[in-house]
Structure 1
Amino acid sequence: MRTRVRQLDDADLSQTIEFLSRAPVANVFLLSRIRQGGLDSARLGCPVHGVFRGGELVGLVHIGANLVPVIDDGRDSAVVDALASKIGRWRRSSSIMGADVAVLPLYERLAQIGPDTWG
Structure 2
Amino acid sequence: MLSKVAPWLASRRDAPDPAGLSVRALDGQDTPALTSLAQQDPVANVFILAHLRGTGTAAPTSGGAGVIGVFDDGILTGACWAGANLVPVQLDPALAPLVAEAANSSGRRYASAFGPADAVLALNAELTELGHHAHEVRADQPLMVIDGPPRVQPHPGLAHGDLADFDRILPACAAMFEEEVGYSPYLGGREFYSRRVEGLIRQGHSLVHLNEAREVVFKAELGAVTEDVTQVQGVWMNPAFRGQGLSAAYMAAVVEKARQIAPMTSLYVNGFNTRARSTYERVGFRQVGTFATVLF
TM score, norm. by length of structure 2: 0.36
Partner of 1:106: 123
User: How far apart, CA to CA, are the structure 1 residues paired with 2:58 and 2:73?
Assistant: 21
Report the alpha carbon displacement of residue 35 of structure 1 after superposing the two structures with TM. 2.3
Give the secondary structure class of the aligned counterpart of 2:53. Answer: helix
Give the unaligned 5+ runs of structure 2. 1-18, 135-296
User: How far apart, CA to CA, are the structure 1 residues paired with 2:41 and 2:87?
Assistant: 14
Partner of 1:92: 109
Partner of 2:87: 68
Structure 2 residue 101 is the aligned partner of structure 1 residue 82 = no
Question: Of 37, 41, 59, which residue of structure 2 is paired with 1:23?
Answer: 41
TM score, norm. by length of structure 1: 0.85
Partner of 2:133: 118
Report the identity percentage: 35
Partner of 2:53: 35
Report the alpha carbon displacement of residue 59 of structure 1 after superposing the two structures with TM. 1.3
Partner of 2:161: none
Give the secondary structure class of the aligned counterpart of 2:78. Answer: strand
Maintained 8 Å contact 1:34/1:44: no
Maintained 8 Å contact 1:33/1:44: no
Which structure carries more strand by proportion? 2
Partner of 1:7: 25
**Per-residue displacement from partner, 1:75-94 (whole Å, max 9, x unpaired)?**
x2xx2111011111766110
User: How far apart, CA to CA, are the structure 1 residues paired with 2:109 and 2:33?
Assistant: 27
Structure index of larger Rg:
2
Give, as a single letter, the amino acid of the residue that structure 2 aligns with 1:11: Q
Maintained 8 Å contact 2:23/2:68: yes
Which structure carries more helix by proportion? 1
Give the unaligned 5+ runs of structure 1. none
Report the alpha carbon displacement of residue 73 of structure 1 after superposing the two structures with TM. 2.3
Shift in CA distance, 87/70, structure 1 to aligned 2, threshold 3 Å: same
